[in-house]
Structure 1
Amino acid sequence: MPARWNCGRVERVRFFEPRDHDVCLALLDSNTPEFFAPQERADYVRFLCTHRGPYFVLERDGEVVACGGVALYPDDAAGVQLDVDSAGLTWGMVRRDLHAQGLGTALLEARMIWLRTHAPQVKEVRLSTSQFTTKYYARPGFEVTRITHDGFAPGVDAIEMRYVVVPLARP
Structure 2
Amino acid sequence: MKISIRRYRPDDRKAVLAAFRSNVPAHFPASEESWLRSALDDPDGPLFVVVEAGEIVGFGGYELSEFYDLGTLVFGLVRADRHGSGIGRALLAYRLLHMAGRKLRPRYVTVDTHPHTAGFFKRCGFIEIARWPGGYRSGRDRVDLRFDLTDEAVARLRACGWREAFARDGTA
> TM-score, with normalisation over the residues of structure 1?
0.83
1:56-81 CA distance string (max 9 Å, x none): 000001110000001114xxxxxxxx
Using the aligned pairs only, state the percent identity.
29
Q: Is the 8 A contact 2:99 2:105 kept in 1?
A: no
Q: Which moves more between the two structures, 49-58 or 119-128?
A: 119-128
- 1:98 corresponds to: 82
Cα-Cα RMSD: 1.6
Q: What letter corresponds to residue 123 of structure 2 in structure 1?
A: R
Aligned counterparts of 1:56 and 1:102: Cα–Cα separation in 2: 16
Aligned counterparts of 2:48 and 2:42: Cα–Cα separation in 1: 14
1:72 paired to 2:64: yes
Written as runs of structure 1 = structure 2, the 5 A alignment for 1:147-162 is 147-152=131-136, 153-154=138-139, 156-162=140-146
**How far 1:95 sits from its partner (Å)?**
0.3
Question: Out of 96, 100, 103, which is 1:116 matched to?
Answer: 100
1:146 paired to 2:146: no
**How far 1:118 sits from its partner (Å)?**
1.7
**How far 1:120 sits from its partner (Å)?**
5.7
Question: Out of 92, 109, 118, which is 1:134 matched to?
Answer: 118
1:48 paired to 2:40: yes
**How far 1:52 sits from its partner (Å)?**
3.0
**How far 1:43 sits from its partner (Å)?**
1.1
1:31 paired to 2:56: no
**How far 1:83 sits from its partner (Å)?**
4.0
> TM-score, with normalisation over the residues of structure 2?
0.83
Query: Which consecutive aligned stretches of 4+ in structure 1 deviate over 3 angstroms post-superposition?
Result: none
Higher share of residues assigned helix:
2
Length, aligned pairs only = 152
Q: What letter corresponds to residue 157 of structure 1 in structure 2?
A: D
Q: What letter corresponds to residue 18 of structure 1 in structure 2?
A: P
Higher share of residues assigned strand:
1
Unaligned runs of 5+ in 1: 1-5, 74-81
